[in-house]
With several copies, the nearest count.
Chain A
Amino acid sequence: MKPLLEVKIGELTLKNPVLTASGTFGYGLEYSQFFDISKLGGIVVKGLSLKPKEGNPPPRIYETPCGMINSIGLQNIGFDAFVKEKLPFLKKFDTKIIANFFGENLEEYEEIAQKLDATDGIHALEMNVSCPNKTSEWRKMGLQPELLKESVRKVRSKVKKTLIVKLSPQVTDIAYMAKICEEEGADAISLINTIPAMVIDVKTRKSLIGTLTGGLSGPAIRPIALRMVWEVAKAVKIPVIGIGGIVNGRDALEFFIAGAKAVAVGTANFINPLSSIEIIEEIEKFLIEEKIENINDLIGSLIE
């Protein structure tokens, strides 16, 4: 018997709990050459802003032990081009589309959120309050409880769709930040975004990243992400989406056991383009082996 993989995130029903993480799966198109992306629980698209963004000067990525640093600088084609050029393609697939978004200030956050809320074919919104790249204070609101509170409240008041807030790991008490979001009406929390990091070329004495620092992702950060997801899942009642270094089914299962209701696969897509669907298969296989009929029975089952 096939185990049930369906989970609910706010108003959003995912046929399985595996998403692809923002910024690592383009606009879906790029990976549809490898597999049928309808198999995914959902796709979180690259962070969107009102206007197109050029992004940061290269070099933008560097590999580190079991991880990578990136400083893309939220390059994106902007809301209009997304709706015109990318969304029609995405609509053809039987999967949920989650729009990750950001702005340069709170007004922009509200405006893009409203536009996405009104756009057909987008099933949920993920508010990025945690971009680690060189950036305006507003994009970093995830580090300041007061800013975070205000922003989530305002954005929440403007949108009807499921609102996910994506948190930064760069705080002392991530559960506290999550509780703020919950109080202000977020439907779900996703975490973690990348961790600010650096790597230097000892010959040239320059950073190997154009903007000096960038965000660390990949297996290296998984144990940190898992700890944070566990802390947050204990602290809030709304669903948590676990992100950070997940490369296989076993990794994903750790996050479910720690309390995540869904996971998003990021850097792993680069290592093996089939990661996300292999993860779905491995989860299914595990549930069958362990005779667990419904993934929801596994969620938060950590024995402390």
Chain B
Amino acid sequence: MNKIFKAEILKNQALTEDVYCLSINVPFNIEAKPGQFFIIKINERFDPLLGRPFSIFDLEDKTLKFLYRVKGKGTSVLSKLREGQNLQITGPFGKWYPFPKDDYIVIAGGIGIASVFYLMKKFPKRAYLFYGARHRREIFYYKELEEVAKEVFISTECGTLDYKGVITELFRRKGLHLNLPIYSCGPMIMIRELKKLLKNKDVPCYVATEERMACGVGACLGCVIETKEGFKRVCTEGPVFEIGDLIL
């Protein structure tokens, strides 16, 4: 498979002030699995220099979608690109979420939803989704989520939608008793909390992690995180890890 290609921007839509959905047209059929990521080179010149990694948010035929938040220079430049412009894409890279055999739990915090939507779409109507955000404005694609998930639990920190509080708390109340494998993606604070909650439970819990990347293919050793077995590369040994292996 060709792992480097040019793709045309079909749409680069602002969902809120700082969250965008980017749709691109891939020139051939690609096979990519939930949890994997692509690297987008944002401009032709060298500032920003490196491509930026983004999870597959959705893939259907030749339309590949990313959901991203503007954080710094790369995403800021990306957010200003328009329909018709071209991007250099490499990927897919990384370990995917092990396929769920039966029902499963998904826990997403904030923009972490970008990494798990495609999983639920591929394995539909079997996920208990716990999705937390700061505000209801930041709950994206609610309708689509209801379609692909089995059940949806939403929390917002300011209480503007459903449960008021953090998503791990809602999960503790409504999901912890379910003995199902867990798939999760979200901020480090959420992952740490989750690890605590699961201390005495014996279900597999897969976490999609993030680290700054240069090569994306395991060559630069730049993206390591600490695991029980020493440093591991997020780009190739991850981004999906078993929560128990991570030293958080």
Q: A contacts B directly in the complex (CB < 8 Å)?
A: yes
In contact, B49 and A33 (Cβ under 8 angstroms): no
A-B interface pairs (CB < 8 A), number: 104
B81 lies within 8 A of chain A by Cβ: no
In contact, B217 and A273 (Cβ under 8 angstroms): yes
In contact, B49 and A67 (Cβ under 8 angstroms): yes
B28 lies within 8 A of chain A by Cβ: no
B10 lies within 8 A of chain A by Cβ: no
Residues of B within 8 A of A202 (CB): none
Contact with B along A50-65 (1 / 0, CB 8 A): 0000110111111101
Contact with A along B198-220 (1 / 0, CB 8 A): 00000000000001111111111
A286 lies within 8 A of chain B by Cβ: no
Within residues 35 to 85 of chain B, which ones have a CB less than 8 A from any CB in chain A?
41, 45-51, 73-74
What separation, in Å, do the CA atoms of A159 and B184 have in the docked complex? 53
In contact, A30 and B217 (Cβ under 8 angstroms): yes
Which segment, of A21-29, A89-97, A136-144, faces chain B? A21-29
Residues of A within 8 A of B231 (CB): 54-55, 58, 75
Residues of B within 8 A of A218 (CB): 46, 49
**B-side interface size class:** 20 to 34
B211 CB to nearest chain A CB (Å): 7
Within residues 46 to 83 of chain A, which ones have a CB less than 8 A from any CB in chain B?
46, 54-55, 57-63, 65-68, 70, 72, 75
What separation, in Å, do the CA atoms of A63 and B72 have in the docked complex? 11
Contact with B along A242-269 (1 / 0, CB 8 A): 0000010000000000000000000101
Query: Pick the contact of A72 from B48, B90, B222 — CB < 8 Å?
Result: B222
Residues of A within 8 A of B45 (CB): 65
What separation, in Å, do the CA atoms of A99 and B108 have in the docked complex? 45
B201 CB to nearest chain A CB (Å): 28
Query: Pick the contact of B41 from A25, A55, A63, A272 — CB < 8 Å?
Result: A272
In contact, A219 and B222 (Cβ under 8 angstroms): no
Contact with A along B126-149 (1 / 0, CB 8 A): 000000000000000000000000
Contact A75 to B50, CB < 8 A, known contacts A58-B211, A272-B41: no
Contact A34 to B3, CB < 8 A, known contacts A55-B231, A269-B219, A270-B220: yes
Q: A23-B221, A75-B221, A267-B214 are in contact. List 6 more A-B contacts (CB 8 A).
A: A24-B219, A33-B3, A66-B47, A75-B224, A219-B46, A267-B49
| CB<8 Å pairs between A and B, sample of 21 | A24-B220, A25-B219, A26-B219, A30-B217, A30-B219, A31-B217, A58-B223, A58-B224, A58-B226, A60-B223, A61-B212, A61-B213, A65-B45, A66-B47, A66-B49, A70-B220, A75-B224, A219-B46, A270-B214, A273-B3, A273-B4
